[in-house]
Amino acid sequence: MLSQPQKIFVVVVQALEAETLQGQIATKVISSAKALLQVTGQDPSALLAQMSLETQQVVRAFFS
């Protein structure tokens, strides 16, 4: 898991976009994804820049 934080971020983004993550579960998953990105020194901005503007807005709403 620690070796592929980008893949995990993308999967979380896909779940948010599909609205399969909501409420407390979404909060916990996002918190864990943020921690994973921090621990591994990854910046999600580069990955986010490759996504549609709509997706970026959804993700920023949750990850801000």
5-60 pLDDT, tens digit per residue, is: 989 999 999 999 899 998 999 999 999 998 999 899 988 888 889 899 998 998 88
Is pTM beyond 0.85? Reply is: no
Is residue 61 a part of any domain in this protein?
yes
Q: Is residue 54 part of a domain?
A: yes
Main-chain dihedrals φ then ψ at residue 44, nearest 5 degrees: -70, -5
3 in any annotated domain:
no
Task: Tell me whether residue 57 is in a domain.
Answer: yes
Nearest to 8 by CA among 25, 26, 30, 28: 30
Domain count, the chain: 1
User: Residue 42 sits in which domain range?
Assistant: 25-64
Q: Is residue 16 part of a domain?
A: no
Distance CA 45, CA 17 (A): 17
